[in-house]
Amino acid sequence: MERLDGDATLRGIDLDPAAEILGDIIRRLAVSVGDHAVPSTGAIMAGAGAEFERDWEACGRPFDRSVLAAATSAAEALVGIDDDLAVNGDLHHDQVLRGLREPWLVGDPVLFRGDIAYDLARCLWWRLDDMGDDRAIRSQLARIARSAGIDHDHAVAAVIFRTVGYWLWGLRNGLTEDPVRCARLLSAVL
C-alpha cells in the first residue's frame, strides 16, 4: 500500500510519453486471472451487434450505417479473443498516478479478463481535446498499441467497437460532449 498524489497524473505530462506509459501499463497488467470469476471482454462483445443495432435505431440513427457496420464487424473479429489475461476496463490518464516504488501506478482499476486492447479508446478520448488533428489521434493510438504490444489493426478494431458503444450509451444517457468526441475519434480511425 502506498499513498499516491492525486494531482500527479498522466494528464500532467506530454501526450507522447503518456501514451507510452499507458501502453506499458496495459502490457504489464496483462497477467493471468486464473480461476477468478471475472467478466469477460469476449462475452461483452458477443451480443454487441444486436445491441448496437437496437440502440442505434432507438437513438434516431445518429450516425451513418457504415459506422454501425464497422463496429459490428469489429466486435465479430474481437469476440474470439478471450484470453485469460487481466484487462483494466477503466484505464485513462487521470487514473495513472505518480508512485514511489514505481514511477506510475494505476488507481481504481475495473477488472475484466480477455482482450487487452478492449479499452484502448478510453486512453484516447480522455485527452482527445489535446490532440490537434486526426494525424495526432492516429499517432497516439499507434504509440499506445506499440508500447502495449498490440497489433495495429487489432487496436483500431477495439477502438471502433468501444467508441461506437460509448457513443450510443452517451446518447441514451443524455451526454452532449462525449458523443461529439466519439464522432471525432471515429473520423480519425475509420
Per-residue pLDDT of the chain in tens (190 residues, 90 and over written 9): 678 888 899 999 999 999 999 999 999 999 999 999 999 999 999 989 899 999 999 999 999 999 999 999 999 999 888 789 999 999 999 999 999 889 999 998 999 999 999 999 999 999 999 999 999 999 999 999 999 999 999 999 999 999 999 999 999 999 999 999 999 999 999 9
* Residue 126, in any domain of the structure: yes
β-sheet bridge partners, residue 97? 9, 105
Q: Please count the other Cβ atoms lying within 10 Å of the Cβ belonging to residue 183.
A: 15
Largest distance between two CA atoms of the chain: 50
* Residue 157, in any domain of the structure: yes
What does the DSSP 8-state code read for residue 176?
S
pTM of the shown model: 0.95
**CA pair distance 100, 56, nearest whole angstrom:** 46
Which has the closest alpha carbon to 154: 53, 69, 81?
A: 81
**CA pair distance 160, 173, nearest whole angstrom:** 20
Q: Which three cell numbers stand for residue 43?
A: 462475452
Task: Check which CATH number belongs to the domain holding 92 and give it.
Answer: 3.90.1200.10
Q: Are strands 86-88 and 111-113 parallel, antiparallel or unpaired?
A: antiparallel
- How much is the pLDDT for 59? 98
- How much is the pLDDT for 103? 93
* Residue 54, in any domain of the structure: yes
* Residue 1, in any domain of the structure: no
- How much is the pLDDT for 101? 87
- How much is the pLDDT for 10? 97
* Residue 4, in any domain of the structure: no
**How many residues are there in the chain?**
190
* Residue 71, in any domain of the structure: yes
Q: Which domain holds residue 143?
A: 10-189
- How much is the pLDDT for 80? 83
- How much is the pLDDT for 83? 83
Query: Based on the number of CB atoms within 10 Å of its own CB, is 165 exposed (0-12), middle (13-18) or buried (19 or more)?
Result: buried
Q: How many domains are contained in the chain?
A: 1
* Residue 162, in any domain of the structure: yes
* Residue 2, in any domain of the structure: no
